Chains A and B, each alone.
Chain A
Amino acid sequence: METLLKARKLSKVFGSGCPLCRESTGPDFDTNVCPHCHSVVACNAVDFDLYPGEVLGIVGESGSGKSTLIKLAHFEWEATGGEMNLHRSALPEGLGELLADAADQYTRNLFGLSQFQQRQVRNALMGIVYQNPFLGLRMNVSSGGNIAERLLGAGWRHIGKMRERASELLEKTEIPISRMDEPPKNFSGGMQQRVQIAKALSNNPLLLLLDEVTTGLDLSVQARVLDLIRSLQREFQLSMLVVSHDLGVINLLCNRTMVMKHGRVVESGLTDQILQDPQHRYSQLLVASQL
């Protein structure tokens, strides 16, 4: 099976950067701040492959660079280096043309696209759910309107059909349809999170990015959101990148997992192997610290 997404040497440095940044930061130095130029190396030389229908977990403490990876993949931040290739056969019609590169079967580096093209790729292929629903939703616009906004971006134009799609998604995420015209600011945190998921799924994404989606939710709501994500993943055969510092969430959702520390991937493997036979010092510490 071909990979859907192939990331190579992804890097993000905040600050001026110097030639010594990379070799003087990382887990071996216990810092991600370069001692020479004081730039922050948020992530350095990260490689990963994501296959269709696969769920890849990214764990690590705060500041390890996990969310940076998500933001790079979602084109929110510009990468300092590296590339991200998308397999063309996975693309819906139309977009394949846009990204086609005669040289090989992969598209060009997605980071090499214009901002307009990146937006097209994002609208057509990706969905994202943030830890903070304020980032993913317009709190003053109705829930249905939030979803319609995303559908408009993906090229939908028929109001009736958009409404139909919105109610279908809200039903799937267990939001009462009767409340679809209410703005998310009226909802509880768990409901907001589920509206966010509905919005993220509205364009039938191939790739769903989850950034600490259950952090801050109470246990019963957390279980409900996770259960929802699991069933939607299976139903739509979604590929997902799941960022979490909660090993329980990772264990429940992910086939494979990468452990990050100070901007580096220190270990990657099958999720049960990472949890039961961690190799790297930091992974061992992480697993030993679990409640």
Chain B
Amino acid sequence: MLSVENLNKTFNIQILDNIRIPGCSDVSFKVEPGQFFALAGPSGKGKSTVLKCIYRTYLPGSGQIWYDSANYGRVDLASAPERMLLDIRSREMGYVSQFLNVIPRVSAIDLVMEPIIVRNGVSYADARERACNLLERLHIPQKLFNAYPATFSGGEQQRVNIARAIGWKPRLLLLDEPTASLDTKSIERVLELLDELREQGTTMVGIFHDQDIMNRIASQIYYL
């Protein structure tokens, strides 16, 4: 499904006298369909860099990222045209970070519904039902559904973020410490949802700081 080959990334900061900051070096791994593939290693080793290179938020320096797209066949995400990448993002590949990217004046429920409507093409009512269901399972109080997440607590924001990322059931989901700011109970619920998503066919590549969580959820672990 995904094959990363000799991926290297260095940041060249021109405004600071061209200093070069290493991102990741010589990363190679293969992810099979349906796997939960975890990236592990000390901080600063470039785990997030690898994820962001796959999503192309970072421009990979050298190496290839082969992805078997449902729509385009085998493509190298490191060099795919921008239009193709945007299309793959909107149909197949999701990314969930530690932080919610709050959109002003958009309520929690709408944030979760938006990708479901746009990407799955389901009706408003169905999308709403799916979104409510997710938020309920993540124990977001019903009172908050129509509130703006900018004022939510960190944990609530993060749960909305996860609901938004998994609601549309992407084919490949990249997770960058999605459980970092959650309490134990919330983590349990998130892991449960991720397990379900995987059973429904989503392949995942994730980073978890907590060793126990990683061992529990991952089907394979790669140490950077």
Please determine whether A227 and B106 come into contact, CB atoms closer than 8 angstroms. Answer: yes
The residues of A that contact B85 with a CB separation of less than 8 Å are: 270
Interface hit among A31-39, A148-156, A193-201, A271-279: A271-279
CA distance A273 to B95 in the complex (A): 14
Q: With CB as the reference atom, state the residue of chain A lying closest to B87.
A: A1
Interface residues on chain B, number (Cβ under 8 Å): 19
Please determine whether A255 and B59 come into contact, CB atoms closer than 8 angstroms. Answer: no
Interface residues on chain A, number (Cβ under 8 Å): 24
| Chain B contact residues: helix, strand, loop or mixed | mixed
Asked if B105 is an interface residue, CB under 8 A from chain A, the answer is yes
Asked if B83 is an interface residue, CB under 8 A from chain A, the answer is yes
Asked if B211 is an interface residue, CB under 8 A from chain A, the answer is no
Interface hit among A118-126, A132-140, A158-166, A281-289: A281-289
1/0 per residue, CB under 8 A from A, across B196-210: the answer is: 000000000000000
The residues of B that contact A223 with a CB separation of less than 8 Å are: 104-105
Asked if B118 is an interface residue, CB under 8 A from chain A, the answer is yes
Asked if A224 is an interface residue, CB under 8 A from chain B, the answer is yes
Q: How far is the CB of A172 from chain B (nearest CB, A)?
A: 16
Asked if A234 is an interface residue, CB under 8 A from chain B, the answer is yes
The answer, among A234, A256, A273, for a CB contact under 8 Å with B59, is A273
Please determine whether A256 and B104 come into contact, CB atoms closer than 8 angstroms. Answer: no
Asked if B99 is an interface residue, CB under 8 A from chain A, the answer is no
Asked if A247 is an interface residue, CB under 8 A from chain B, the answer is no
Please determine whether B15 and A269 come into contact, CB atoms closer than 8 angstroms. Answer: no
Asked if B82 is an interface residue, CB under 8 A from chain A, the answer is yes
CA distance A277 to B14 in the complex (A): 12
Q: How far is the CB of B214 from chain A (nearest CB, A)?
A: 25
The residues of A that contact B59 with a CB separation of less than 8 Å are: 269, 273, 277, 279
**Most chain-B Cβ atoms within 10 A of its Cβ — which of A269, A272, A277, A288?**
A277
The answer, among A51, A252, A277, for a CB contact under 8 Å with B11, is A277
The residues of A that contact B58 with a CB separation of less than 8 Å are: 273, 276-277
Please determine whether B14 and A284 come into contact, CB atoms closer than 8 angstroms. Answer: yes
1/0 per residue, CB under 8 A from A, across B20-58: the answer is: 000000000000000000000000000000001000111
Check A234/B118 contact, CB under 8 A, given A270-B56, A273-B58, A281-B15.
yes
Give chain A interface residues in 66-91, CB to chain B under 8 Å. Answer: none
The residues of A that contact B118 with a CB separation of less than 8 Å are: 234
Asked if A110 is an interface residue, CB under 8 A from chain B, the answer is no
The answer, among A222, A230, A255, A273, for a CB contact under 8 Å with B56, is A273
The residues of A that contact B15 with a CB separation of less than 8 Å are: 281, 284-285, 288
1/0 per residue, CB under 8 A from B, across A223-234: the answer is: 110110010001
CA distance A142 to B86 in the complex (A): 42
Q: How far is the CB of A278 from chain B (nearest CB, A)?
A: 9
- Chain B interface residues (CB < 8 Å from chain A): 11-15, 52, 56-59, 82-83, 85-86, 103-106, 118
Given contacts A222-B104, A255-B86, A281-B14, 6 further A-B pairs with CB under 8 A are A1-B83, A256-B82, A256-B86, A269-B59, A270-B82, A288-B15
Q: Which 9 A-B pairs have the closest CB atoms?
A: A223-B104, A281-B14, A277-B58, A227-B105, A272-B57, A223-B105, A284-B15, A276-B57, A285-B15
A-B contact pairs, 8 of them (CB 8 A): A226-B105, A227-B103, A227-B105, A230-B103, A270-B56, A273-B57, A281-B14, A284-B14
